[in-house]
Amino acid sequence: MKTGNSIASVGSDALQPLQCRAAWVASEMQDATRWTCLLSPDEVSDLVAAVTAVKASNLDLVNLAQSDVPLPRLGPRLSRIREELVNGRGFVVIRGFPLDQFDRFEAIIAFLAIGLHFGIPVSQNAKGHLVGHVKDIGFDYRKNVNHRAYQTRLEITPHTDSCDIVGLLCLRPAKSGGLSTLASSVAIYNAMLARCPELAAELSCPVYFDRRGEVPEGKKPYYQIPIFNRNEHHLTTIYAPRYLYVVTRHAGVPELTERRKAAYAMLDTLASDDEFRLDMTFERGDIQLVFNHVILHSRTEYEDYEDPVLRRHLLRLWLSAADSRPLPKAFEERYGPIVPGNKRGGISVPGAKSTIPMEPE
């Protein structure tokens, strides 16, 4: 198979659409009750009890395990939600998280308690953060290629993250803007096959991704992997536009061809089109969970409050799910182990130690 900017042996006639519950379009998801779950008083009590137990035992949050936070009433519901994430539509929003009952430390414990029922937290950056803070800290990825978009108030284009499941907890919404947008990468793949199969084939060949300064030991500052990874049962998608365009700065990486630019542009256009994009507004206490392999997520630019206390702030988890799908072999370069049950994904760099900061850094 050829790599680089020439199309590989994946022919457009060899690719087939995939019909599954994850292949939804926006019109099918307008009824928010289909994908929203409200916590009951008993389920909230489970979270409060879990926080109390963890604090009383003085457990290290970095090493917290699901067995430390059993959630006897909420746990079975989370199991059903996990099934919907991994084998269903690929996303859900949980409402009613009791933020007003917790301080920051306690909110992080409770968020971790929920997350651990979906998977194991993995590092989100070179600092080893197991709980991330999505907040504008004055960075600008337009001026510094290694700045991450979640540290800004700028638009974040449709993309995937390096994990099985992404979880976001809204501590504070923006003054205006900051809409979360989801789109089914399976539906977009099917649409590209129907409308421009040669571009779907282009994205089914290995392309170059930049590591943007987060380079594992012994690895190059870039790697190659197909965006669309189709097998008999699944389509697994990996996509990060800014990592795809800046990668040509490295020696040995060829310039993008017009065909490849057109393929990226079509994927971006479809993900942002009303036919596929589902917008939602985060409310205080909302938890959004996304199965990364079938969903592209993005965010609109936002305006923040003058008061630092009121500024938009989300907590984030990247989770490795034991009951997730096997990943294509090409994912080893980014995820490490690809077999379910192994801790996989995240960002690993030399010298980084796992940590859970209470504030953005």
Q: Is residue 310 part of a domain?
A: yes
C-alpha dihedral over 281, 172, 73, 22, to 10 degrees?
30
- Pairing mode, strands 91-95 and 287-291: antiparallel
Residue 244: predicted pLDDT: 94
Please name the helix (run of DSSP H) or strand (run of DSSP E) that holds residue 335, with its range, or none: helix 332-335
Q: Is residue 223 part of a domain?
A: yes
Please name the helix (run of DSSP H) or strand (run of DSSP E) that holds residue 318, with its range, or none: strand 313-320
By CB atoms closer than 10 A (0-12, 13-18, 19+), residue 233 is exposed
- Pairing mode, strands 302-303 and 176-177: antiparallel
Domain of 272 in residue numbering reads as 33-335
Cβ-based neighbours of 126, under 8 Å, separated by 6 or more: 213, 214, 347, 349, 352
Place of tokens 């690993």: 348
The answer to whether the beta carbons of residues 131 and 315 sit under 8 Å apart is yes
State how far the Cα of 334 lies from the Cα of 235, in Å rounded to an integer.
17
Residue 139: predicted pLDDT: 66
Place of tokens 């994904």: 345
Question: What are the angstrom distances between the C-alpha of 203 and each of 1, 13, 78, 196, 245?
Answer: 14, 14, 34, 11, 14
Place of tokens 């409308």: 195
Q: Is residue 19 part of a domain?
A: no
Q: DSSP code of 325? A: P
State how far the Cα of 182 lies from the Cα of 121, in Å rounded to an integer.
22
**Ramachandran quadrant class, 5 (left: phi over 0; alpha: psi -120 to 50; beta: rest):** alpha
Residue 7: predicted pLDDT: 38
Q: Is residue 254 part of a domain?
A: yes
CATH classification of the domain holding 74? 3.60.130.10
Q: Is residue 256 part of a domain?
A: yes
What tokens does 143 get? 């001026």
State how far the Cα of 117 lies from the Cα of 167, in Å rounded to an integer.
12
State how far the Cα of 143 lies from the Cα of 136, in Å rounded to an integer.
15
Q: C-alpha angle 348/350/236, rounded to 5°?
A: 20
The amino acid at residue 249 is R
Residue 136: predicted pLDDT: 83
State how far the Cα of 345 lies from the Cα of 246, in Å rounded to an integer.
22
For the chain (361 residues), the mean pLDDT of every run of 10, in chain order, is: 39 78 97 96 98 96 96 97 97 97 98 97 94 84 65 89 97 94 98 97 96 89 95 93 93 95 97 97 97 97 92 97 92 91 90 92 82
The answer to whether the pTM exceeds 0.85 is yes
Q: Is residue 28 part of a domain?
A: no
- If one counts the domains in the chain, the total is 1
